Structure 1
């Protein structure tokens, strides 16, 4: 039986396992899912991301978690917290993010999962969480609003300087 760190009525949050690679690689290689990222990820890049998330969980006690749909035990993607240190006036910081396979879009799962992650952050004495998305990513910005985050500012994301079509980002935050 799968051990979850926490659950919502529909979702289970856990650390990454080797059996997640095929499903997560399929999500990360989808052009539509990755539209607001630098590029789709290869299987090797997906494995490296999973490895980074495991290390982050071991070091910080949080990461972008593997998220299962409880009803079917299918991996739907990732929702969770990350530690951001890229060059900006608001880093280092904890951010919240999500990447869900398009099969599961428009069901309220990102919002449900993100709210659970904000609760997890609070329980772990994290006092501020930010979230960022390219200004054209209206679906993610809508999730930020839906989970109670407030618009902070727009900024040019340093790590996206070679991707001008997605570099301008909206930054939201919530303080507990």
Structure 2
């Protein structure tokens, strides 16, 4: 069976979520190291709900955090894409760009490559400004933001992380398209 991608980058294919992604996605989301900059690891049910939300976001808005495969092998490596943020802040509601990769695929340039391609995708569908946020101590994600051309805006406390003092503040980056 050949996979139909919504778009690709040189090494990555971007697609909607399928039921077959759940075992690997749930395993990734349950991993303490992968989830160390999030409120908590996710259960299989929470991972399934996230997949469903992403497909619904795509149906509603034309973008989501996409399931991402290596084109060479077809192997699922995680998610990269655009999200819709509505938490209470002076810059929301907004489109944000984010990524979460299985740790077996870290430090290979996939997050940067995929995020650059998702910025192009966002611009192509008419998004004017894209934000990105990460816990200020998440230096790997901040390096990706800088590498793909986002500019630092400010630090802020993410309301979703109020129970986790060590995760705030978050760094906020952005890019505007002409």
TM-score, normalization by structure 2: 0.98
- RMSD (CA atoms): 0.5
Q: Distance in 1 between matches of 2:158 and 2:42?
A: 19
For residues 1-176 of structure 1, the aligned pairs below 5 Å read 1-176=2-177
Runs (5+) with no aligned partner, structure 1: none
Residue-pair matches, total: 176
CA deviation after TM superposition for structure 1 residue 175, in Å: 0.3
CA deviation after TM superposition for structure 1 residue 167, in Å: 2.0
Q: Distance in 2 between matches of 1:8 and 1:172?
A: 23
Runs (5+) with no aligned partner, structure 2: none
CA deviation after TM superposition for structure 1 residue 91, in Å: 0.2
CA deviation after TM superposition for structure 1 residue 72, in Å: 1.1
Q: Distance in 1 between matches of 2:132 and 2:56?
A: 21
Q: Distance in 2 between matches of 1:70 and 1:166?
A: 34
CA deviation after TM superposition for structure 1 residue 89, in Å: 0.5
CA deviation after TM superposition for structure 1 residue 22, in Å: 0.5
